[in-house]
A and B are shown apart, each in its own frame.
Chain A
């Protein structure tokens, strides 16, 4: 049985429909990310699951129980907020024990649980500190401990990393994922950062305009985007304007270059389509096999450390390609001619 089910969820503020027919079924212990730009409705979905907003329609079930109209304080859900939301007047230990305290659990039990939680997040000695005495990363870990202390059925994470420094962001997200795996707790993670979503989720829900555009594993979302929005929002994408040359052979024409796809296309001859490719599937120079090869001019190069990003003009259109840094391979000179090759199966044709 699914741990959390969301069916036909709707939310309108006045005439503004911010969530439209949202459906999602999450397995026990699954880590799901809601990914999308701000205003896409991801936070509203999360807040409805938490019980802070009441849905205009649809149902939310946790472990088979309908919680759609239950108050937030009766749902037994853990939540971590973007701005930590630790109670400033309580110590770390009191914050972590808050849920058990209001549930009127015995003192000894609270104490034991708080100790256990602080060890889980790796801050066993900070129980007597006040939130203002902690760094942002520490505060967010305490917030996680506070959410987990009540042994919730579901854990909700509302952009928990966006207020933190880049370095801590990466280490903390791994820690969160690690703890989540150990406890096997069903988790929904809201973020606008695609790298974050791809790196730690079992499945990603890409949202746009209140609609779930695609739900799938990170690999699938990245490599087989179903819509143009998903393709462009997740990762960097080169889009080339093309025209169908021969549907049966799967042949397209980009300027003067012919591109053969691995499959036939359905659109008729002469139809304009968008050909897409990730920067990392493009390679400088000519490779073995029957790749498509474009000839173009280097426009600029960006050295990003482990990666070298090259911008080129090909058939009058700009594209970007990524190659790994190799000490023996200096960046190509700007303005020189170069060839770019790409394998047919790495190309995408986007429906408009």
Chain B
């Protein structure tokens, strides 16, 4: 191997680097730079300042709320499901189907997912109709609306929960049986074991998944758009409308809007990296 060691090893990286630069980094940088530019090319902060108007702030806020809610609830339920399947003493054959289904459901996002929930919880959806005809309970007169914060959250969970299951199951498998046994023979209760040993060990994976789920839902356009049209003013939909038709009547405000999205998902991931470094002192 030594004799064949080329001084030009970097040449092998050219295709990938070129691809990443042209179709991932440059486009993103273009948006970032555009957010700080005036229409004649000078530097400015006014685009960012212009983000601070009630409608835009409100849409950021609802986007963050939905993403946080779906990420947190998705993490919680996904964790419960994964724990039930891996540690809960359920029959072993259940595991395969649950994992396969999670693989399917986590990729079942976008337009068809919206249709599925419309057909289920929409005004004429199966569950809505059944609840009305069986129990005389109309969820729509009791404040439920699929085209709302709550409705969108419930829909997003359909891909958020399985994603959590997929990511956290290997981490749960990584918990050694001996740790649980060592803790219990040292006198620890199940709760103490989880608090002092298991959760701290899982913490990095949990945080990582949380950040990923947040970004996943923050950037999702298709589901919301197909579900609500443009009636639900979350940031990605506002940006979508802006790209299509410059509804903000200020192209550079569009850049700022997109930049804001990068900043928020970026911050979520930075927080994750920071917490992870802090919680992983015990790792190699």
- Within 8 Å by CB of B178, from A85, A89, A91, A147, lies A85
Q: Which residues of A contact B197 (CB under 8 A)?
A: 87, 89-90
Q: Which residues of A contact B200 (CB under 8 A)?
A: 89
- Within 8 Å by CB of A102, from B196, B201, B281, B284, lies B196
Question: B196 and A73: CB pair below 8 A?
Answer: no
What 0/1 readout, one digit per residue, does chain B (108-132) give for beta carbons within 8 Å of chain A?
A: 0000000000000000000000000
Q: Which residues of A contact B182 (CB under 8 A)?
A: 79, 81, 85-87, 146
Whether B48 is near chain A, meaning CB under 8 Å from some CB there, is no
Whether B148 is near chain A, meaning CB under 8 Å from some CB there, is no
Question: B185 and A78: CB pair below 8 A?
Answer: yes
Question: A72 and B282: CB pair below 8 A?
Answer: no
Instruction: Contacts A81-B181, A130-B282, A132-B282 given; indicate if A90 touches B187 (C-beta within 8 A).
Output: no
Complex-state Cα separation, A131 to B200, whole angstroms: 15
Question: B282 and A88: CB pair below 8 A?
Answer: yes
Interface residue total, chain A, C-beta cutoff 8 A:
32
What 0/1 readout, one digit per residue, does chain B (181-200) give for beta carbons within 8 Å of chain A?
A: 11111111100100011001
Question: B187 and A99: CB pair below 8 A?
Answer: yes
Q: Shortest distance in angstroms between B200's beta carbon and chain A's nearest beta carbon?
A: 4
Q: Which residues of A contact B281 (CB under 8 A)?
A: 130
Question: B282 and A103: CB pair below 8 A?
Answer: no
What 0/1 readout, one digit per residue, does chain A (33-76) give for beta carbons within 8 Å of chain B?
A: 00000000000000000111000000000000000000111111
Q: Which residues of B contact A103 (CB under 8 A)?
A: 187
Question: A83 and B185: CB pair below 8 A?
Answer: no
- Within 8 Å by CB of A72, from B178, B181, B201, B284, lies B181
Query: What is the number of contacts between chain A and chain B, taking CB atoms within 8 Å?
Result: 80
Q: Which residues of B contact A52 (CB under 8 A)?
A: 181, 184-185
Q: Which residues 185-230 in A have Cβ within 8 Å of B in the complex? A: none
Question: B185 and A87: CB pair below 8 A?
Answer: no
Complex-state Cα separation, A86 to B282, whole angstroms: 12
Complex-state Cα separation, A101 to B185, whole angstroms: 13
Q: Which residues of A contact B183 (CB under 8 A)?
A: 87, 98, 102
What 0/1 readout, one digit per residue, does chain B (161-196) give for beta carbons within 8 Å of chain A?
A: 000000000000000101101111111110010001
Q: Which residues 252-284 in B have Cβ within 8 Å of A in the complex? A: 281-284
Question: A50 and B186: CB pair below 8 A?
Answer: no
- Within 8 Å by CB of A98, from B189, B196, B201, lies B196
Instruction: Contacts A50-B181, A90-B282, A130-B282 given; indicate if A85 touches B176 (C-beta within 8 A).
Output: yes
Q: Which residue of B lies closest to A73 (CB)?
A: B184
Instruction: Contacts A83-B178, A85-B176 given; indicate if A50 touches B283 (C-beta within 8 A).
Output: no
Instruction: Contacts A89-B282, A132-B283 given; indicate if A150 touches B181 (C-beta within 8 A).
Output: no
Interface residue total, chain B, C-beta cutoff 8 A:
21
Whether A77 is near chain B, meaning CB under 8 Å from some CB there, is yes
Q: Which residue of A lies closest to B282 (CB)?
A: A130
Complex-state Cα separation, A131 to B283, whole angstroms: 9
With most chain A CB atoms within 10 A of its CB, the pick from B178, B179, B186, B284 is B186
Complex-state Cα separation, A150 to B188, whole angstroms: 12
Complex-state Cα separation, A51 to B183, whole angstroms: 12
Q: Shortest distance in angstroms between A138's beta carbon and chain B's nearest beta carbon?
A: 15
Question: A85 and B186: CB pair below 8 A?
Answer: no
Q: Which residues of A contact B186 (CB under 8 A)?
A: 73, 98-99, 102, 146-147, 150
Complex-state Cα separation, A76 to B283, whole angstroms: 31
Q: Shortest distance in angstroms between A173's beta carbon and chain B's nearest beta carbon?
A: 20
Instruction: Contacts A98-B196, A101-B196, A102-B192 given; indicate if A72 touches B283 (C-beta within 8 A).
Output: no
Question: A81 and B282: CB pair below 8 A?
Answer: no
Question: B282 and A73: CB pair below 8 A?
Answer: no
Q: Shortest distance in angstroms between B33's beta carbon and chain A's nearest beta carbon?
A: 43
Q: Which residues of B contact A87 (CB under 8 A)?
A: 179, 182-183, 196-197, 201
Q: Which residues of A contact B181 (CB under 8 A)?
A: 50, 52, 72, 79, 81, 85
Instruction: Contacts A88-B201, A89-B201 given; indicate if A77 touches B185 (C-beta within 8 A).
Output: yes
Q: Shortest distance in angstroms between A54's beta carbon and chain B's nearest beta carbon?
A: 14
Complex-state Cα separation, A216 to B183, whole angstroms: 33
Question: A79 and B185: CB pair below 8 A?
Answer: yes
Question: A102 and B188: CB pair below 8 A?
Answer: yes
Q: Which residues 23-38 in A have Cβ within 8 Å of B in the complex? A: none
Known: A87-B201, A99-B188. 4 other contacts (CB 8 A): A73-B184, A102-B189, A130-B281, A132-B284
Q: Which chain A residues have a beta carbon within 8 Å of chain B's beta carbons? A: 50-52, 71-79, 81, 83, 85-91, 98-99, 101-103, 130-132, 146-147, 150
Q: Which chain B residues have a beta carbon within 8 Å of chain A's beta carbons? A: 176, 178-179, 181-189, 192, 196-197, 200-201, 281-284
A–B Cβ pairs within 8 angstroms, 26 of them = A50-B185, A51-B185, A52-B181, A52-B184, A72-B184, A73-B185, A83-B176, A83-B178, A85-B179, A87-B182, A87-B196, A87-B197, A89-B201, A90-B196, A98-B183, A98-B186, A98-B196, A99-B186, A101-B196, A102-B186, A102-B189, A102-B192, A102-B196, A130-B281, A132-B283, A150-B186
Nearest first, the 6 closest Cβ-Cβ pairs linking A and B are: A85-B178, A99-B186, A102-B188, A130-B282, A72-B184, A89-B200
